[in-house]
Each structure stands twice: as structure tokens, then as C-alpha cells.
Structure 1
Amino acid sequence: MKQPGQADGTGIYGHVTLAGTSGWPAAEYERYEWTGTQDAFRTSNYLSGMAGQPYEALIPSTIAKSTYLPSPRVAALAEEAAQEISRFDERYGKHLRPFVSLMLRSESVASSQIENLTASARSLGEAELGVEDKANATLVVRNVRAMETALAAADHLTPESVLDMHRALMDGTRDADVAGHWRDQQVWIGTSQYSPIGAEFVPPHHSRVPALMTDVMDYTRRWDIPVIIQAAIAHAQFETIHPFTDGNGRTGRALLHAMLKHRGVASHVTVPVSAGLLANVGAYHAALTAFRAGDPELIITVTSEAAFRAIENGTTLANDVVAITEGWADRITARRDSAVWPVLDLLASQPVVNAAVLGSKLGLDYMRQKRALDALEEAGIVVGVDKYKKGRFWRAPEMLAALDAFAERAGRRGRS
């Protein structure tokens, strides 16, 4: 479990070199003295015994000018993954318009699931319309916003754009005061919530974060590195820096997608790489651990394989969307100028709507909304429900079921 430090460690008093492998530069650890907080120490003999003990924080190698490339086998796998992503983007991003926004939502849900945040497609759709009775769904909506911010920043990958992603993710949460700010305390992963002593992994001391983030973002803007290799390494470096007290995983995966868009392999649609990683979250975490130990090949392999699984799953969803929308069209007999048709188009990309959405996005007045929704309810395409204090919502159950099936397929395999 990731934990924030309650106060600085102080006093660097030694370095430990960690040898790299596969041509990756060596990393180092630096030792600090843990001080914690005096309030905590006064209330616990156990904690007071940690005062003054050393812990080691990683000093990652800088990568902005790295000449590293993986073995030919891994490089070939990464290139194949890039080609598959590009074909998927061309096929579905350009020619299946509703799929673009559905895939963005689905990828945001998958990224949240890696952090053990789950939400049904219905709950997510309602949360997007302001229903906050499901906390997880509200958090996933913020992940959608962070992904949208990341993709909007794809043309100018900078430390500031990462801060914008994090702000979109964390605004409105109990940690909103740190939204869009680099951490100013030590964090660690695993073992204890009280101190980094004996932790599984201790990221760099917070004083190093700004310079390290400048370095990794310089790396993301290079054009001389194969795209999947670059995206996997930048993502792993970001997670190693752990620049925030919370939200690092979801922000780091949003950054990965911004890089794929920046390099033009996923220009139209968000390829659900996080959904591919869900097939084996344990392997993903093991790959990050190997990267921190000096071997980047596993994170490149895991990212490439996640892309293949994601494309398979996403293709199934795309076929489901086509079948559903074609089935809807067969059940409607309204004239081509009827408001039913634009409402159907909207439901294909946003399967939970209300009057406000229909008014703002389609410009429909009350009577046109009513006629269209009455026809869709009669055809069995939508179900109307009244939400306490939120008015009436309409859901498209078939599309919601397809999205839930996508999420279920993503998490079906083992996670050990």
C-alpha cells in the first residue's frame, strides 16, 4: 500500500549503487534519516523506536538523452504492437464515431479497476450527470476527465500538462488540496502506513521530483525512439518517480495514452491498454519492480502484450456497438427528420441521458424530447427512471450491458 510520509527524512548520508541490466544505466539509492512526526512518536512506543532510523530512497537514472533500446525480440514485439494499435485506431476511430467516447470511458474504468475502483456502466453514466450516491463511480468520472485532459495535452507534453491531468483527477476529492502539485513529502509502497522503514519500494526524495519530471517529459517529446518502447519506459519512469501523494497510477496511464496520441499511432480512439493490463495486474507490478531494479525489458513486453489483449477486447466491443445500433435502427420507423435519430446517435456514445443533456447537446425542446423518448421507450431501446432530486433519466440497457461485458472480459484472467 502506498503511504505518504508525515514529515521529511533528513540528512543524506550515503549512496548505494544499483546495477542496471540490458544496457540500462545504473540507478542509486540515497540514505535518509526518518524523522516522522513528533505527535505520532508521542502516542506510540513502536513509532518512537523508528526515530532516527535510516531508509533508502531510489535515485532514478535520468532518461532524457538515453540511447537505450531493448533486445531485438522485445523491439520486434513492441513494433508489432504499435502497428496493431494504428490499425485499430484507423478502423474504429475514423469509421465508428460513437466508439471514440465509449472507448475513452471504458479505458478510464479499466485504469481505475487497477486501483481497485470499480463502477458499473450505469453508475458511471449517472455520475457523469451529477448523481453522487456511488463514490467509486464519481472517482471514475474524475479519471475520465483526467484522460480527456491528457489527450488534449498530447501536442505539448510538459510537466505542466501532467499537473493539469492530476488536477482533473483529484479536484473535488478529499485530497483536493494537493491536486496539481508535486508532492512535498516522502512516499513509499508497502509494509507500513507509518514509515518507509523496510518498505517494498521508496520513490525518490521529494526534493528531486521537479527535476526528474522535467527529465521524463523531455524524453516523452523525442521522436527517435520506437513509440511503444518510449511510452512503456516513460510510464515506468513516471511511476518510479511517483510525483504525487495519490493518483500516480491513473495519471501515469493517462500520460501513456497522451504519448500514443502525440506519436500519431492512436490519433482518433483511446486504445484500452489498461484493460489489457487488467488481464494480469501482478505481471504489470512485477514489470515495474524489474524496471526499478534496472531492467526495462519486462515493462515493454507487458505493455505490448496488454495492447494486443486490449485490441481484441476493444474489437469485440466495437462489434457489439455496431450490432446494437443497427438493431436500434431496425426497430424505429420514424421519419428521417425525427428527433429520434439524433437521440439514438447520442445514446450510442452516452447511454445514460437526461433532459439537460438532450437540450444542451442536441438543442431539443421539451416536446421534441418527449416524443423521441416515448418512441424509444415503446421500442424497448431506453428505460426511463426517476432519480431522487435529479429528475428523470433514460438508460439504454443494451449498450450498458455491452460496456459491462467489456469490463468483465478485461478482468477475467488471473491477477497473480
Structure 2
Amino acid sequence: MDPSFLFLFTKDDVVYDPLKEDGDPHLAPTLVLTTTAQVLAERLDALGISHDGLESCLAHAVEQRIGALERADIDEDDTRTLGILQSMRLKTWVHAVAVALSAPHGMSRDERTWDLSHFDGLRALWEDYDPRWLLRALLEVCESDELITLDLSYLELGGYLDAQGFDPQAAATVMFGSTFLNLTPAVVITEGVTDAEFLRAAVEIRRPHLTEFIRFYELRIAPGGAGAAVSTAKSFHAAGITNRAIALLDNDTAAEEAMLALKKVQLSGHIVVQRYSNIELCEAYPTLGPAGEKPMNVNGTSASIELYLGTDVLTDPKTGWLRPVQWKGYNATLGAYQGEVIGKDAIQKAFRSKVTAARDNPRVVASQDWSGLDTILDQLLHLLRTVGVPDPQHRQGLAR
């Protein structure tokens, strides 16, 4: 078992059933880790071992195999293999694996491990890569709700693992030692503790299987804000911090101005600064200005975290209407106004009540509005998949 697989599971995925007298662990496993293919795929995505990198990873492997065959004296079977490799794409690999897994003869191991009609030959294409890439590729063959199980029974029965209170990630930490630092989750920087609190709650409720895979940096620099978040990202770059770092800012004028400070700085490839994505709600949101109340597009000018918390908390219970954005100052540098939603404290209080209700009774989540925060989480997951992703050939120094 590659120890990197342990990091993909949490304590909640552990199933332990002590061996019965005269029991056979092969027939009745004692210690297993199990979760769905979708959860496992998203966890790998969050670690940068993502679907987006599979095609290039496989293409490089196929290129190497083709080169090796073309340099050798090949027979009829090798010629057939060469033809298969030349048309091999991720889609065709996934189909071939599905066929191999469905046929008993396709799982056989014989002397010709290069025979791509057998699973072992298909697996061999990934043998020079971090094994998590092969796992991520195999998940493409699975249905999203299919259960994926890692059987640790023989390690447990052999005394290598203690099943009582077993924590896969803690065990992985011990096994990896210093190399574990290269596998830690990305750091997410926000404008302040409130933004971090709300996004952490969103992950807990909307993507609970990722709570141990995303770290929020507690930015406590007074008065905080977009400028402080950008400064923190620059500090990470200057300090040579190797963790992937993602700074998420309000989608407003202040954040756009703060990002001007990055024009003279070329951040490391694993550090990125972005504003929250635009959302439909803000395309025609009620605003207050000298001309009275008027719906306007506030994406990019006034969309603070509060406008992503859901219409159920943005609605004023006294009036039944969305709390409006009030225009305040004009930014001459950008030629744009900055606005702020009225009643921030009330909105934040309502959201905390919403989170409490969701924690107490998960069934109420279906009747709540999480669309705005879902947009931010989708944006964050996209960045986790793409920012500073290492070369898939790099094995992180792990022994096979």
C-alpha cells in the first residue's frame, strides 16, 4: 500500500470489525477505509491530482512507451501494441480499463505485461508516476456513488497498524515524515476573520468531505480588508513559502484597487489572488444613491461576502425586500464607485443562525439558499485543481 493513499481518507471513513475466531481476513476484512468515488476524486482534485492533468500525464507516458518500442526490434504483437498506443487518449484508456475489468481474462497477469488488452498492461502506463495519478485515472471508470475501499486488514493483523482509534491522516503523517509538507492542503487567505468563518462554514455544510483538505488563514491584521490580504500573499511570495496559497477577495472596487499593487510583483506560480466570481443575484441588485433606489449590477463594485450568503439572509424580515447596497465613495483611480450593503451586522447574524440550523438539522439545507457560496466554492475548487500543480511525473520522494 502506498502511504499517500492514507491521506485521502479521514477517521469517518474507517470501518473496523475485529477478526472472528477462525475467521479469514480475505473473506471478511477487519480494517478498511471506504468512501465514494466522487468524494475521493474531489479530495484528489483539492490536492492538485486532478482530472485536468490526467490527459497530459497519460500523453507523456504513451509518448515514452512509443519511443521505447520504436527503438527496439518489435514483433507482430509489439506492432499491434504500437498501433493501440498511437491512438491512445484518456477516453480510450478509460474505455479499455472498463472492458478489462468486466472480463475475467482481462485481469490476468502473464509474461506480456505490455499487452494492452489486459488490465496490468493498462496500469503499467502509469508506473513511473505518483501512484495517486493512477488512482485518479481509475476513478474516471467508476460511477460517482460507487464505493471505493482500501483494505488494511493484513497490515492491522500483522501489527503494523493499530485499529483502535485509527486515524489515516495521522498515520500518513508519521509515514511521510518531512515529505508530508509537500502534500499539505492549500492555504486560503481572505480579507478577514469573518470571511474565513463564513467560507469555512460553507465548506463544512456544502462540501463536508473537504473540511480537512482546505486551510483558511486567519488574517487578523487591523483593519484587515483587501489590501491586507494582498500584502499577505506578497509576504508569502517574498518568504519563499512553498504551500499553494489562494487569496480570495470581495468582488468590489476596493479589492480591484488593492490588486493594483500586484502589477509590479510577479507572484510565484503557486500563489494567486482573485476576487469572488460574479453571481446572477448581483446583476440587478437594489441600490441606494442620490437618485433614489435603483437596481444595478454591483458585481465588481460592491459584492462583499455578505451578498453571497443567500437571499434568505439578505432579505429584511420587516420589509420582505433585499437589503440594498448604498453607494458611498468614488474611486478616481479606477473611475468607479464603491458601495456597501446596508445592515451588515444583521445579515451576518442571520447567516450564523442559518449555519446553526443547518448543523442541527442537515435536512433544512435543501430549503436554504447557498447558491452564492456554492459559486465561491466552485471557484476555489477550480483554483485548487489548477494553481501550482506539480509535474505529475514527480513522485514526491515516496518509496513504492
Q: TM-score range by the shorter chain?
A: under 0.3
Rg: which structure is higher? 2
Which one has the bigger helix percentage? 1
> Quick check: which one's strand share is greater?
2
TM-score (norm 1): 0.24
TM-score (norm 2): 0.24
